[in-house]
A and B are shown apart, each in its own frame.
Chain A
Amino acid sequence: MSLAEEYPEQIQKIFAKYPPDRKQSAVMPLLHLAQLGKGFVDRHDLVEIADLCGITETDVAEIVGFYTLYHDKPEGKLRIQVCTDIACALRGADEFLAQLCERLGIRPGETTPDGLVMVEAVMCLAACDKAPMFQVQGPDGISYHENMTVEKTLEFIETARKEVK
C-alpha cells in the first residue's frame, strides 16, 4: 500500500505546516511516517516521497543517508540505542552496553537471531542525568528508557517479545 493510501490525513497535515511552494520541507516528516510499522524506508517509499515533494529520488536518499534515525534496510524490529557518550559513560554506560549484549548473545550493532532486537551504541540522547539509558526505535516511533539496569532491560525485551510479532 502506498503512503498516500495508508496515511491520507497525516500527509495532508504535514503539508499544511509549510508554505505551499515549499513542499520539500515535508521530506523529513514523510520519511518518519514511512518508517512507522516496518522500521525502514524502502525503494517504493523513496519514489513516492520524491513525487509528493517534487524532488528527485536521489534527493530523498541523500536525506536517508545523512540522518541517523532513518534506515534503508530491515534490522531488529526494536532498535535499542544505548547512549555511551561522555556523561553517560562516566556513569557506567559502556559496561551496561557490554553486559546487555553479552546476556543477549550478540555484539553491539547486531540483531538477535529471532530478528526482534538490535542493540547499538549511539551519540548523546540528552538524558545525561538518567544514565544508563537508551531509546527504542520501534514500530510506533521512539521512546526513552532511563535509569536502566540490565535486568530491567531484559524484562522490557521479554514483554516486547510477546507484543511485537
Chain B
Amino acid sequence: MMAHLLLRHRDIPDIGKLDVYRKNGGFEAFKKAVTQMKPQEVIEVVKASGLRGRGGAGFPTGVKWSFVPNNIWPHYVVANADESEPGTFKDREIMESNPFQFLEGVAIAAYAVGANAAYIYLRGEFWPVAAHLDEKIAEMEKAALLGDKLFGTDYSLRIYTHLGAGAYICGEETALLESIEGKRGQPRIRPPFPAVYGLYGKPTVVNNVETLTNVPLIVEKGADWYKSLGTADSAGVKIFSLSGHVKKPGNYELPFGTTFRQLIYEYGGGVLDDRPVKAIMAAGASSAVIVADDKALDTPMDYASVKALGADLGSASVIVINDSVSMDWVINKTIHFFKHESCGKCTPCRDGTYWMLHLIERIERGEEVEANTQLLHTVAKQMQNKCLCPLGEFSTMAVTTAIERFPQDFRG
C-alpha cells in the first residue's frame, strides 16, 4: 500500500509535532511558494493539478482561487472545518493528528490569493480540536512561520480559529461567513459569490480542510505528480469515511477509482453480521441512495462514475446499509436531521422538511401508506431547485430515491 499523503500520522506517528513535521519536509512548500513563486504561479500549479474541493461540491480549487479580484482589498481565506454531514468524520482526524500539513495548506492558499488573515471555522463541538489548533498556530508564530515579514519577504500572515455553536447549515460557505460575522448562520443570495463578496464583504476563498491539506504536496511535488494519482476525472487521493453496517468503520485514504466493493470488503472488513449490502449512501445523509447490486459495488468511486449511478460522491462519506433495515426507517432518520437543521430562511425548505417529517411519521404508523408515500414523493420533488442553498435539495435526495428504488419498503 502507498504511504498516506493526508493521514500521514498513520505512517509517521509524531507528525503532529512541529520538529517532526519539519524534518519530514514540512513548511518547505510554503517557504518555496513565498520566496520563489508569484501568487499567480501557485494558483496555476493548483489549477493544473486537477484538485477539486473535498467538502462535497467538487469544484476545482485553483479555479476558485483565480476568481479573487485584485481591485478590492483585503482578501481572506477561510478553512471550512464545520464537518457536520452525517457520515463524515475525516477533517477532525486530519486536524487532530496531522495539523501542520493542514495549516501549511491554509498558509499557501492565503499567499496564493493575497490574504494576510485566514480563519478556520470549526463546528462548536470541535472545541478541543480548536484548542489544539490554537497551540499549533502559536508554535508556528514562535518559529516565524506565521507573523510579519515571513522568510525575509514583505508577506505577513495570521491564522485564527473561530468556533461555531451547533448548526449544520454553517457548512454552507455563505452561512459560514455570516456566522463569523456574528450573525445567524443563514445563506446569502448568490451571486455575488464569496470570491468577490465574502467575509466582511471582501473577496474570500472558502476551502474544506481536506482540500487544503492536499495543497502543500501539490506545491512540493508538482501538478503532474498529483494528476498521476486517481482517475482522469478525479485527480489525487481521497479520504473515504466508511460507516454504518461494516465491520471496520473508519477513514480510508485511497486513490479515486477504488470500487465500493474494495472499500467495503477489503478495507472495511465486510458487512456487519455477514449480511448482504442493501443500499449505499455515498455522500452521507444528503445522498441519493444507491441500490447495492453487483454493478454498483464494482463501480469506481470517482465523481463521474458515481454520478452515472444516479448519485453523488460528495464528501465521500460512505454509509453502508445491510438488508436488516427498511428504507422508510432510513429516510425517517435523514428527514428528521434536515428538518432540525433547516435554517428557516427559504419557505420550500423550512415548510417542506416539516411536512416530509409529518408524512414519514404517518407512513411509519401505517396510516394510508400508499397515498402518504406518493404525497411525500411529491412534496420532496416540489422542494427541489427552489432553495437558496443546497440544504433543501439535500433533504430530498434520499427521500425520492428511496421511494423510487426501494418501492417494496413503502407498502402497507
Contacts and interface: CB of A to CB of B under 8 A. Distances in A.
A binds B: yes
Interface of A: 17-19, 22, 24-29, 31-32, 53, 55, 62-63, 66-70, 85-87, 89-91, 122-131, 135, 141-144
Interface of B: 83-89, 91-92, 119, 123-128, 160, 162-168, 179-185, 200, 241-245, 249-251, 281, 284-285, 317, 319-321, 325, 330, 333-334, 337, 340-341, 343
B200 A19 contact: yes
B243 A128 contact: yes
Contact of A31 (B165, B180, B184, B334): B165
The 6 A-B pairs with the shortest beta carbon distances in the complex, nearest first, are A67-B165, A68-B166, A24-B182, A129-B249, A128-B243, A69-B166
Contacts of A26: 182
A18 B337 CA distance: 33
Contacts of B319: 86-87, 90, 128
Contact of A85 (B83, B86, B162): B86
A158 B91 CA distance: 33
A22 B181 contact: yes
Contacts of A27: 182
Contact of B88 (A17, A22, A25, A126): A126
A28 B200 contact: no
B165 A68 contact: yes
A25 B180 contact: yes
Nearest to A124: B86
Given A32-B124, A87-B319, A141-B128, A25 B182 contact: yes
B270 to A, nearest CB: 15
Given A126-B123, A128-B87, 13 more contacts: A25-B180, A28-B162, A31-B165, A32-B127, A66-B185, A67-B167, A68-B165, A89-B333, A91-B243, A123-B341, A127-B92, A128-B86, A129-B249
Contacts of B200: 19, 22
A33 B243 CA distance: 34
A85 B179 contact: no
A59 B126 CA distance: 25
A86 B334 contact: yes
A6 to B, nearest CB: 19
Given A24-B181, A29-B162, A87-B86, A142 B250 contact: no
A126 B89 contact: yes
A53 B182 contact: yes
B203 to A, nearest CB: 15
Given A29-B162, A32-B163, A128-B243, A86 B86 contact: yes
Q: Is the interface of B mostly helix, strand, loop or mixed?
A: mixed
Nearest to A17: B160
A55 B182 CA distance: 10
Contacts of A19: 200
A86 B84 contact: no
A36 to B, nearest CB: 11
A79 to B, nearest CB: 11
B79 to A, nearest CB: 14
B86 A70 contact: no
Given A125-B125, A126-B92, A28 B165 contact: yes
Given A29-B162, A67-B167, A143-B128, A86 B123 contact: no
5 contacts: A25-B181, A68-B167, A128-B88, A130-B249, A141-B128
A31 B281 CA distance: 36
Contact of B128 (A85, A129, A142): A142
Contacts of A86: 86-87, 244, 281, 285, 319, 330, 333-334, 337
A67 B186 CA distance: 11
A132 to B, nearest CB: 12
B89 A67 contact: no
Contacts of B163: 28-29, 32
The interface centre, meaning the residue of A17, A26, A131 with most chain B CB atoms within 10 A of its CB, is: A17
Nearest to B124: A69
A49 to B, nearest CB: 10
Nearest to B179: A28
Given A22-B200, A26-B182, A142-B124, A85 B168 contact: no
Contacts of A17: 119, 160, 162
Contact of B124 (A55, A67, A89, A130): A67
Nearest to B333: A86
Contacts of A143: 128
A127 B167 contact: no
Given A87-B319, A141-B128, A28 B164 contact: yes
Contacts of B85: 124
B125 A90 contact: no
Contacts of B167: 66-68
